[in-house]
Amino acid sequence: SYTTDTKSREENKKTLESLYSLSVDITKIRRLKEWVLLQDVAYVKEIAGILKEMGADETTVANIIERCPEAILHTPAEINSQRALWQLVCQNERQLIKLIEQFPESFFTTEYQQNQKANILFFQELGLKNNIITRFLTSAPNIFYNPVEKNKNMIETLQRNYLNLGGSEANMKIWLLKLLSQNPFILLNTSTAIQENLEFLQKNDFTDQEVLQLLSKLKGFIFQLNSTTMQKSMLFSKNVFKCSDQELKQLVLKCPALLYYSVPVLEERLEGLLKEGISIGQIREAPMVLELTTQIIQYRIKKLSALGYDIKSGNLESLNGTKKDFEATYGKIQSKKERPIFNPVAPLHIED
**Each residue's pLDDT tens digit, 111-154:** 899 999 999 999 999 999 999 999 999 999 999 999 999 999 99
- Cα–Cα distance, 180 to 226 (Å, whole number): 20
The answer to whether residue 85 sits within a structural domain is yes
Please report the pLDDT score of residue 345 as a whole number: 53
198 neighbors 158 (Cβ within 8 angstroms): no
pLDDT digits (tens, 9 = 90+) for 52-92: 999 999 999 999 999 999 999 999 999 999 999 999 999 99
Please report the pLDDT score of residue 339 as a whole number: 61
Whether the per-residue pLDDT at 327 is higher than 70: the answer is yes
- Give mean pLDDT, residues 151-171: 92
The answer to whether residue 293 sits within a structural domain is no
pLDDT digits (tens, 9 = 90+) for 38-61: 999 999 999 999 999 999 999 999
Number of domains in the chain: 1
CB burial readout 150-181, b (16+ within 10 A) else e:
bbbebbebbbebbeebebeeeeeeebbbebbb
Domain extent at residue 88 = 11-110
Q: Which of 45-49, 225-229, 255-259, 301-305 has the highest mean pLDDT?
A: 45-49
The answer to whether residue 335 sits within a structural domain is no
The answer to whether residue 72 sits within a structural domain is yes
Q: Which of 179-183, 214-218, 230-234, 274-278 has the lowest mean pLDDT?
A: 214-218
Please report the pLDDT score of residue 340 as a whole number: 54
The answer to whether residue 157 sits within a structural domain is no
Whether the per-residue pLDDT at 220 is higher than 90: the answer is no
217 neighbors 256 (Cβ within 8 angstroms): yes
Please report the pLDDT score of residue 217 as a whole number: 77
Please report the pLDDT score of residue 222 as a whole number: 74
Please report the pLDDT score of residue 351 as a whole number: 47
- In percent, the amount of the chain with pLDDT more than 70 equals 93
Whether the per-residue pLDDT at 163 is higher than 90: the answer is yes
Q: Which of 100-114, 163-177, 333-347 has the lowest mean pLDDT?
A: 333-347
Specify the higher pLDDT residue, 32 or 48.
Answer: 48
Q: How confident is the model at residue 352 (pLDDT cuts 50, 70, 90)?
A: very low
The answer to whether residue 84 sits within a structural domain is yes
The answer to whether residue 150 sits within a structural domain is no
The answer to whether residue 323 sits within a structural domain is no
